[in-house]
Structure 1
Amino acid sequence: MIISRTLESKLSSLYKAGKIVGGVYLGTGQEAFSASLGCCLDQGKDIFAPLIRDQAGRTGFGEPLIEATRTYLGSVLGPMRGRDGNIHRGRPAERRPAMISHLGTSVSVVAGMLMARRMKGELAEVVGATCVGDGATSTGAFHEGLNLAAVEKLPIVVLVADNQFAYSTPRERQFACENLVDRAKGYGVTGREVDATNLLECLSVVGEAVKAARFGEGPQMVVGKLLRLCGHGEHDDASYVAPELKDSNLGRDCLEVGIQQVVENEVATLDEVDLWKREATEEVQEAVANAQTDPGPDPYQDDWQAFSSKGINS
């Protein structure tokens, strides 16, 4: 969580300085929810398709910082070879599909990857996971993907970050149900709800969902109640968020809550937390510096990889 917050703070500064092409989308306030999923998955066999605010989950699942900085800064050495930017990055061969859209599409992608493994006889104790926002739950892609996953009883975990807004559209203009978790029952999916500002609660509830999916209990949906503590992107000042919402329990900073819990449970001291912060700053600065010295893509030399070459050169 600390590394994620530190990285995104640096990315915000680079964006405002005109050093990043395209948008910058932060996960401020959602780190506990996202990191819990990344840390509960098995990096050696599980599938993880993160969303735009899931840097904490990416880090928890083992994505190197250099992959993030290289993608944001357009390095040809990054996972997208400088041809796509910001959160649109991944390594499918390592079970990290690149994000297609933040509007629920990843549910179908992960479901398809799980079905492919089933057909190959490679699905034993494998979990596929993805994240969406409250806005995505109103899209056709989300409904179709989750319905398919439920019918096929796939071991998928879908985290829904109910951060109160789909860009600037409030919850009451998105759906009429009181709680999004109530929708899970209609699909035949196990639903859970969690205070996503509470790190320990997130680790417990998300961990239960991952375990249930892994051992044959079918799709799991976890709804995290929280508030996005930033704009939709760094281009958005979020002036539509009411002050009373910011002052509510939903507006708590999960990073501050997490640090308090770590200290109270004697996992670490405040001095050790300060050390983590310094180390995170050094790691981020190194990753940014390395990416800034990388070459950009050369359109005259790139093979574009637009067509499959299987069999062509044999």
Structure 2
Amino acid sequence: MEPEEGPVATRMDQQRATAERDWRVGLSDDQLRHVLYLLKLCRYFDERMEALYRQGRLPGAIYSGRGQEGTHVGVAYALRPEDSLFPTHRDLSAQLTKGLDLKRVMAQFWGRIDGYTRGRDGNSHIGDWYGARTWTVMSHLPIAYPVACGAALAYQRRGEPRVAMAICGDGATSNGRWHEALNVSAIHRLPVVWVVNNNQYAYSTPNRLEIPTPTIAERAAAYGMPGVRVDAQDVLEVYRVAHEAVERARSGGGPTLIESVSLRWRGHAGHDPAKYVPRALLEEYMENKDPVRRFQDLLLAHEVVDEAAVKAIEERVEREFQEGYEFALASPFPVGEEVTMGLWVEDGYWQREPSREGGTEAP
């Protein structure tokens, strides 16, 4: 039988082309490879930092986000450089995606002067407002939500086409600040995107004992905004949903609530064995729902990468981690004279130009 020609064949070609475009969610081959690099970087960083912590070579605490890289990379990749991210202590992968410098991050963990807080903090209270546009992590969850409201209100009033995005976990949705932030953002149609990283467990409390509705996303209806629930193991679907929400906010459409459902592979912190999570559920996610492996397999299947390209990415990640580790240990500790730096606003603070090294532009 001869192959079809004419209008029928043309429509089939168009359908195939559309299907090819759809799975890519508008990303080029280079961008898809970059997403794989980010996923690999975030996973390797998490694994190696946990190993150093357990060996007693990393001071302080560690809060793993392993298994949730699909959320972190997917939502942050949807932001433009001028947009702002308000993360939690567990969202370092999102901050790296947004542009944090790995060497400075590692200097931060070792309390060195080249870290983002110049040695004032030893681990995850990281931010780079004047560079990557990530707000310094604040411990009282979800305090970043109302702060993101303020940033979004500033963008709106200044007429700037910028968007704020805030992340929290499922447990933080029980806090009054979370509801206040959603309410205010909806009333004023603020350019903000709310992301809930639903781990299914808030520390040891399962969703069924903390959330009265079947989903978190459906709460959005009470505030008059869209709510979307997404599988966090599919980084491209997370990116698609986040990109639509970000551009909707940028165009004046107001806020969106995104519930990204995953299961973290580690407990609340490095000291927590997470025995409260059913072993069968954890194994299902680790063996069959790994967002990094899923995305790698997808790119291999579509020949966006081959095994050699994957190996090159992994070698790059390992090299960058080692360089960051050596940089951190070579960085000096802060000196006493610096203890008062950054405590007071200088004259003319709001009039001066921004600087990546600690500038003074209004947020």
The TM-score with structure 2 as length reference comes to: 0.81
Shift of 1:293: 0.9
Local SS of the residue matching 1:182: helix
- Rounded Cα–Cα distance in structure 1 between residues aligned with 2:90 and 2:83: 20
Matched ranges for 1:302-313 at <5 A: 302-310=339-347
Task: Give the conservation status (yes or no) of the 8 Å contact 1:162–1:223.
Answer: yes
Quickly say closer, same or farther: Cα 1:102–1:195, change in 2 above 3 A.
Answer: farther
Task: Give the conservation status (yes or no) of the 8 Å contact 1:19–1:73.
Answer: no
- Rounded Cα–Cα distance in structure 1 between residues aligned with 2:225 and 2:185: 9
Please say which of residues 218-227 and 92-101 is displaced more in the overlay. 92-101
The question of 1:192 aligning with 2:216 is answered no
The equivalent residue for 1:118 is: 156
Task: Give the conservation status (yes or no) of the 8 Å contact 2:156–2:191.
Answer: no
The equivalent residue for 1:220 is: 256
Shift of 1:248: 4.0
Residues 186-231 of structure 1: CA deviation (Å, up to 9, x unaligned): 1112111111111222122222211211212110111111111111
Quickly say closer, same or farther: Cα 1:311–1:219, change in 2 above 3 A.
Answer: closer
The equivalent residue for 2:60 is: 22
Shift of 1:306: 2.2
The TM-score with structure 1 as length reference comes to: 0.93
RMSD: 1.8
Task: Give the conservation status (yes or no) of the 8 Å contact 1:75–1:294.
Answer: yes
- Rounded Cα–Cα distance in structure 2 between residues aligned with 1:13 and 1:223: 30
Shift of 1:101: 2.3
Task: State which of 78, 85, 93 in structure 2 corresponds to 1:48.
Answer: 85
Quickly say closer, same or farther: Cα 1:118–1:207, change in 2 above 3 A.
Answer: closer
Shift of 1:102: 5.7
Local SS of the residue matching 1:92: coil
Shift of 1:14: 2.0
| Structure 2 residues without counterparts, runs of 5 or longer | 1-38, 350-363
Moved over 3 A (4+): 247-251
- Rounded Cα–Cα distance in structure 2 between residues aligned with 1:88 and 1:30: 19
Matched ranges for 1:154-169 at <5 A: 154-169=190-205
The question of 1:205 aligning with 2:202 is answered no
Please say which of residues 45-54 and 171-180 is displaced more in the overlay. 45-54
The equivalent residue for 1:83 is: 120
Shift of 1:185: 0.7
Matched ranges for 1:130-169 at <5 A: 130-169=166-205
Task: State which of 198, 223, 231 in structure 1 corresponds to 2:267.
Answer: 231
Local SS of the residue matching 2:222: helix
Shift of 1:310: 2.4
Please say which of residues 190-199 and 293-302 is displaced more in the overlay. 293-302
- Rounded Cα–Cα distance in structure 2 between residues aligned with 1:9 and 1:247: 17
The equivalent residue for 2:19 is: none
Please say which of residues 11-20 and 285-294 is displaced more in the overlay. 11-20
